[in-house]
Amino acid sequence: MSNPRPVAGEATLVESVEVPAGESRFINVKKGQILQLVDLYGDQVGDFVAYRTDKPDEYLSPAHTCSCLTKLSPEVGDALYSNHRLPLLRIEADDVGHHDFVVPCCDPERYSVDYDLPDHPSCLAGLQRGLDAFGSDWSLHGELAANIFMNNVVTPEGRIETFAPTHGAESAIDLEVLEDLVVGLVACPQDLSPCNNFDPTDMAIRVWEREG
pLDDT at 27: 98
Could you read off the pLDDT of 49-101 as tens digits, one per residue? 999 999 999 999 999 999 999 999 999 999 999 999 999 999 999 999 999 99
pLDDT at 4: 81
What is the enclosing helix (H) or strand (E) of 62?
helix 62-69
- Give the residue ranges of the chain where pLDDT is below 50: 1
**Per-residue DSSP letters for 78-130?**
-EEEBTTS-EEEEEEEESS---BSSSPPP-HHHHHHHHS-TTS--HHHHHHHH
Q: What share of the chain is helix, strand, coil (3-state, %, to 5)?
A: 15, 35, 45
Give residue 129's Cα distance to chain centre.
Answer: 16
Q: Which of 8, 96, 58 is nearest to 178 (CA)?
A: 58
pLDDT at 5: 82
Q: Which of 178, 189, 56, 198 is nearest to 120 (CA)?
A: 189
pLDDT at 114: 93
Beta-sheet pairing, 24-29 with 11-19: unpaired
How many H-runs (helices) and E-runs (strands) does the chain carry? Answer: 3, 13
Give residue 88's Cα distance to chain centre.
Answer: 14
Beta-sheet pairing, 46-52 with 160-162: unpaired
- Alpha-carbon distance of 71 to 68, in angstroms, equals 8
